[in-house]
């Protein structure tokens, strides 16, 4: 089998995992997939905060819990286990300031992959482009379990929350 040359950093993301629909596809995945693990790639903190507000509104009534990895042990499993017991459906847990926890976070993610997979939480990690590529290289076991990578550096619309959909319809009105 011939070796494939990687011509750009973006190609490190497996094509099947690269989502093109931005925030609306991320919202859909998080709504319907118990135990999903996602990465949202963003440009800057102000943009991430705006996207997080949009996502929180779009996910209602599903709760979104933000956990910062700034100034804390980079142990996602311990942070998740410290949360109150979850009801069904499990909440979306959004990990912010992930870059501040690197490189120590790589080891936690890779070694705790199976334990994290036992939880029903939907996990969302906010990363910048460079951090995404480093994660793929340094935590390959964790990376291989991802449900999707969403590049959110372009404006996108957010679907209506489920509570705002017309009765008997699965898609929002156009």
Question: Residue 129 in 3-state DSSP?
Answer: helix
Question: Residue 127 in 3-state DSSP?
Answer: strand
Q: Report whether the peptide linkage leading into residue 89 is cis, meaning its omega lies within 30 degrees of zero.
A: yes
Per-residue pLDDT, 163: 55
> Which token pair is 29?
């995945």
Rounded-to-integer distance, Cα 7 and Cα 13, Å: 12
Residue 23, pLDDT above cutoff 60? yes
- Give percent of the chain with pLDDT exceeding 70: 76
Work out the end-to-end distance of the chain between its first and last CA atoms, rounded to an integer number of angstroms. 47
Q: In order of start, what are the domains of the chain with their CATH numbers? A: 12-155 (3.40.50.300)
Rounded to two decimals, the pTM is 0.77
Rounded-to-integer distance, Cα 41 and Cα 164, Å: 28
Please state the rounded mean pLDDT for residues 88-93: 91
pLDDT band at residue 19, thresholds of 50, 70 and 90? very low
> Which token pair is 92?
């979306």
Instruction: Give the tens place of pLDDT for each residue, 51-66.
Output: 999 999 999 999 999 9
Instruction: Give the tens place of pLDDT for each residue, 110-167.
Output: 999 999 999 999 999 999 999 999 999 999 999 999 999 999 975 444 444 555 444 5
For the chain, the residue count is 174
- Give percent of the chain with pLDDT exceeding 90: 69
């Amino acid at each position: 089998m011939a070796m494939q040359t990687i011509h750009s950093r973006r190609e490190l993301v497996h094509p099947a995992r690269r989502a093109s629909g931005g925030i609306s596809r991320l919202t859909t995945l998080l709504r319907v997939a118990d135990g999903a693990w996602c990465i949202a790639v963003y440009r800057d903190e102000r943009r991430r905060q705006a996207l997080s507000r949009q996502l929180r509104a779009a996910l209602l009534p599903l709760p979104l819990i933000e956990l910062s990895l700034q100034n804390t042990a980079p142990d996602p499993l311990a942070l998740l286990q410290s949360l109150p017991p979850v009801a069904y459906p499990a909440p979306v847990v959004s990990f912010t300031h992930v870059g501040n926890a690197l490189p120590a976070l790589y080891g936690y993610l890779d070694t705790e992959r199976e334990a994290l997979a036992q939880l029903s939480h939907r996990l969302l990690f906010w990363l910048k482009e460079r951090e995404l590529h480093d994660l793929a290289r340094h935590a390959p076991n964790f990376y291989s379990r991802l449900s999707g990578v969403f590049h959110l550096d372009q404006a996108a619309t957010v679907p209506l929350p489920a509570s705002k959909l017309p009765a008997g319809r699965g898609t929002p009105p156009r």
